[in-house]
Amino acid sequence: MGSGAYSWVAHEVRQMLPPTIFFILSLNLIVLTVALLSDEHELSAVSHASACIGALLVGKAFLLADKLPLMNWLKDRALIVGALWSALIYFVIVFILHLAERLISAATDSKGFLFRAKADIAGFDWSLFLVVQLWFALLLIGYSVIRAAVRAIGPARIREVLLVDPDASDP
């Protein structure tokens, strides 16, 4: 792989890393909460693996969305408006990617697409789906607001405000 391709991949991974790490932690906390609130109280390695894969999907959605001209549509508005707009676009892209993943999974199922689709529909829990989507939307909004604030204020200033003890600089 040439140095141009390597630097492009490295740049993409660096861009994808912060949202992926944030959503790995967040989605695994949602999995833990759902498991503790369920009747069985069972933690499943598959559920945590799905949360990690979901976080990678979210990281990829951030990469895709950030390249869309639509992301800059409200950039001259208040910071919160732009952050909410970004969160909405991220939510829509993640939804589309997740739906595509489910359709591909159903299409490649050994028992056939219709069998898998019927099984998914029969086992679908609307209340769990809505709760998870609400949490996910809230997490996207929070992440988008924090991301916009860091971009506006600057990472160095954020580190200074959050990590430097103000009393330590006084003589």
How buried is residue 23: exposed, middle or buried, by Cβ count under 10 Å (0-12/13-18/19+)?
A: buried
Domain enclosing residue 105, as ranges: 3-169
Position 168 scores a pLDDT of 66
At 40, phi and psi to the nearest 5?
A: -80, -25
Which tokens hold the place of 144?
A: 């988008």
Position 118 scores a pLDDT of 78
CA dist., res. 133 & res. 24, Å (int): 16
What kind and span of H or E run contains 11?
Answer: helix 3-37
Rounded to the nearest 5 degrees, what angle is found at the Cα of 143, between the Cα atoms of 137 and 147? 145
Position 126 scores a pLDDT of 78
Q: What is the mean pLDDT of each run of 10 residues along the chain (171 residues)?
A: 79 88 92 80 78 87 85 81 89 83 76 76 77 87 91 88 74 55
- Based on the structure, what is the number of domains in the chain? 1
Q: What is the pTM (predicted TM-score) of this model?
A: 0.76
Position 139 scores a pLDDT of 92
